[in-house]
Amino acid sequence: MDVLIFSLAFTFFVVANPVGNSPVILALIQDFDYQKQKKIMFREAVLALLLALFFQFFGELFLGLIQVKSYALTYCGGILLSLVALSMIFPTPPEDVKQMKREPYFVPIATPLIAGPGLMTVIMAKSQEMTQWWVITVAIVLAWIPVTLALVGSPLMQKVLKRRGMVALEQLMGMILMLISVEMIVSATMMYLNS
Amino acid sequence: MTLLSMTLIFFLMMDPLGNVAYFIEVLSHIPHKQQRWVILREMLIALGVMVFFYVIGDLLLDFLEVSDASVSLTSGTILFLVAIKIIFPNSRTSRARMHGDFEPFIVPLAIPLIAGPAMLATVMLFSHKFGPQVLIPILIAWFLASMVLVMSRHLMKTLGRNGLMAIERLMGMILILLAIQRFLEGINLFMTSV
């Protein structure tokens, strides 16, 4: 049972992909100072955890009630991320100071980047397989320890990369995010056509 | 579709939780005691509009010769664009510009925030598809939404500005889910009709 919990936790960690996502997230919050960035990261990690736990218990029920199929969930993630990716590749100059300092809240960091459609689907699938619900809960919480650490630690990267590095990183990560999102849209289309 | 799902869908589309912050902002220069009455009045107007579209839905769709597929696609598209503006707010959008110093009457609270075009299209679509029983979920959802909005000041106090913002975004995300589902249903309807 112990091994199972760890393997589940590892799966959740890999699907949430905080290490792969942290450059993207960092590029999104590069305008804030170091302390603020750490705070934002921690908050988003907590929000993502809450969302993951919500989906473990009520995901199936909720999506069933509002009659949303799983391909719609994947489409949703894909479309949102592609919009974020486009705004990273073609950054528009902020209209005013207030606009520039607007914090990302929940969307797009907590969801769909960390607790995205992929993670939600995996959690729902795994909780159908398991008879004891607490195994999944423990695994999610366990997975969230490295997830949170990876997120909170990532602002360090900005200190290393400096301003120019961050601009390059934003472009590069925009491209990678676009790939991820298009992949989501493609796989959602496959699911939709097969249904 | 069950009564419960329809109620939930209507409730989410009125988006009372996502609108709490906006309601407070628009009503900020009105004395507190009066606010409740303004909210109730706006909600009643919104209900009136929704019931109106529920009643004439069939007639209107026949008159315009619009198919179910088009209504589904329309509702999905509008809802999608509205939800995108909730998730990626932009100071140029009308949502941020709509309020001035005047007392809000009909616009912007009743229409389009509560009874927006996407909501009205869905009311027409559901009443066309499921018949007269759709009125019950509309009423329940409207009642729940009114309760949430009347208590908006308390919600603001318990959740804080940041909590409300997080909820607003989450609701936007759910609206996008609903929009995509509706859109795909529209495509399905279109495919089966040709």
Q: Would you list the domain boundaries of chain B?
A: 3-193
The mean of the pLDDT values for chain A is 86
Beta bridge partners of B105: B107
Mean pLDDT over A163-186 rounds to 86
Question: Residue B53 has which token pair?
Answer: 């579209």
Per-residue pLDDT tens over the stretch A148-168: 998 998 888 888 888 788 788
User: What was the pLDDT predicted at A19?
Assistant: 82
Coil, strand or helix at A105 = strand
Write the residue in A47, A72, A108 that is nearest to B184 by C-beta: A72
Residue of B nearest to A108 (CA): B87
pLDDT at B93 (0 to 100): 52
Q: Which residue has the higher pLDDT, A2 or B167?
A: B167
Cα–Cα distance, A37 to A10 (Å, whole number): 26
Q: Which pLDDT score is estimated for B50? A: 95
Taking the C-alpha atoms of residue A45 and residue A84, their distance in angstroms, rounded to an integer, is 19
Q: Is the pLDDT of residue A101 over 60?
A: no
Say how far apart CA B114 and CA B19 lie, in whole Å: 8
Contacts of B177 in chain A (CB under 8 A): 66, 68, 72-73, 76
Distance (Å, whole) CA A70 – CA A68 = 7
**What's the pLDDT at B168?**
87
pLDDT (tens digit per residue) in A134-153: 899 999 999 999 999 989 98
Query: Mean pLDDT for each 10-residue chunk of chain B (194 residues)?
Result: 92 93 86 89 95 92 91 94 84 53 80 91 91 93 95 89 84 92 94 89
Q: State whether B184 and A73 contact (CB < 8 Å).
A: no
Q: What are the residues whose beta carbons fall under 8 Å from the beta carbon of A87, sequence distance 6 or more?
A: B88
CB contact under 8 A, B176 and A83: no
pLDDT for res A130: 79
> What would the pLDDT profile of A63-82 be if each residue is shown by its tens digit?
999 999 989 998 998 998 89
Q: Is B96 on the interface with A (CB under 8 A)?
A: no
Please tell me the predicted confidence (pLDDT) of residue A139.
93
Range from A2-11, A83-92, B9-18, B96-105 that averages highest in pLDDT: B9-18
State the pLDDT at residue B191.
93
The pLDDT score that the predictor gives to residue B44 is 95
Centre a 10 Å sphere on the Cβ of residue B44 and count the other Cβ atoms it contains: 13
pLDDT of residue B101: 61
In this complex, how many residue pairs, one in chain A and one in chain B, have their CB atoms less than 8 Å apart?
69
